[in-house]
Structure formats: structure tokens, C-alpha cells
Amino acid sequence: MRNSKSGFTTLSIILVCLMFAGPSLAAKRDPEREAMRKIQLIQKKAAEEKSVLEQEKSDLAKQLSELTSQSGGLKDEAARANRGKNAVEKEFEKLRVENDSLKAKLSLTDTNLAALLKKSAVDQEIASQEKVKLEASLATRGQSLASCEKKNITLYELNVELLEKYKNKGFLDSLLQNEPFTQIESVKIESAVSDYRDKLDMQRVDKSSSLQ
């Protein structure tokens, strides 16, 4: 009876240990890909805004050139004809105001473009730093995963070896010979060993599935 209690105690201890030995390793979405996507969106948005501002700048410069040309032509015409001086001067003043307004808009566009380029550079630097941090985090997680996997495999192999040793030594047979077990009790023991082996297999870490 002492051998029977010792055997059941050993199996119970091993079973309890194995139920809590397997680490919970749930795969997470790859954060590096998300960081790259953010960088690409920032770059695309900056490029689009830059293109719009540059086109606006070009259009304003063209208008400024045209107005300047018109202004010069009107001024020459006023000097040559000397007629409708008041009307010409009024038109000239109007063109001057428009010219100043376009210059102000052009200056503002240049300022906004410079600010946008500066902000884009800062955003890209921040995104790059986040990428470096994520890569470091992934490397650390990979090392931890490898360590857990190694320990899990070692524990699995030790327990399988223990089961095989009990089996090879006729552990169950000796129990049944030394104690007056019925056939039903024999089946229960064999079923318990089979369940224990199944739980071992369930607790074993599968590297391929844990990295998905």
C-alpha cells in the first residue's frame, strides 16, 4: 500500500507541475510593419502637399510676371500717348496693389512650404526612432521566446523520459501485482497515464505556431 500511495503522489505532482509549466505565448501583430506604414503615409502626404504648394508658387510667380509685364506696358503706353492719364494711373495703382498682394501670398507660400518640410523631417525622425525601439523590442521578445521554448522542450522531454522509464520498468504491472487491484482499477491507472501523456503534448510549445 505504501508503494501505491507513493506512485500516485509522484504522478499527481508531475501532472500539477505540467499544467502550470507551459507559458502562454500569443502571437501579436507585427508592430514593425505598422511603423513602416505610418512612415509611408507621412511621406506620401508631405509629397502631395509639397507638390500643391510648389504648383501654387509657380502659378503665383507666373501671374506676378504677367502683371509686371502688363504694368510696364501700361506705363509705357501712358508715357507715349499721354491720354487717359487718370485712367491709366488708376489701372496702374490697381495692378500695383494686386502685385503686392501676390508677393505677400508668394512669401506666405514659401513660409508654409518651409514649415511643412521641417515638420515632415521631424515626423520621419520620430517614426524612425519608433521603428528602432520596435526592432529592439522584437529582438528582446524573440530571445525570451527562444528561452521559453528551450525550457519547455526540456521539461517535455524529461517528463516523456519519466513516463518511458515507468513503462519500461513495469511500474504499472508491479503496482497491480503488489496490491489487490481489480480490473477496473487497472484500466483507471492506464487511462490516467494516457491522459497525462496527452496533457504533456498539449503543453508543448510549437515554435512555428507561436510565431504566426
**Residue 102 near residue 64, CB atoms below 8 Å:** yes
Instruction: Please indicate whether residue 116 or residue 162 has the higher confidence score (pLDDT).
Output: 116
Report whether pLDDT(65) > 80.
Answer: yes
pLDDT tier at 199, thresholds 50, 70, 90: low
CA angle 53, 127, 122 (to 5 degrees): 45
pLDDT digits (tens, 9 = 90+) for 155-193: 777 777 766 766 655 555 555 555 554 455 556 656 666
Domain ranges of the chain: 27-210
Query: What pLDDT, on a 0 to 100 scale, did the predictor assign at position 9?
Result: 53
From the list 166, 143, 145, 153, the residue with the least C-alpha distance to 203 is: 153
Query: What pLDDT, on a 0 to 100 scale, did the predictor assign at position 16?
Result: 47
Report whether pLDDT(69) > 70.
Answer: yes
Average pLDDT over the chain reads 72
pLDDT tier at 59, thresholds 50, 70, 90: confident
Query: What pLDDT, on a 0 to 100 scale, did the predictor assign at position 193?
Result: 62
C-alpha to C-alpha distance for 36 and 19, rounded to whole angstroms:
40
pLDDT tier at 205, thresholds 50, 70, 90: low
Instruction: Please indicate whether residue 108 or residue 83 has the higher confidence score (pLDDT).
Output: 108
pLDDT tier at 204, thresholds 50, 70, 90: low
C-alpha to C-alpha distance for 165 and 170, rounded to whole angstroms:
9
Phi/psi at 83 (5° precision): -120, 150
Query: What pLDDT, on a 0 to 100 scale, did the predictor assign at position 49?
Result: 85
Report whether pLDDT(106) > 80.
Answer: yes
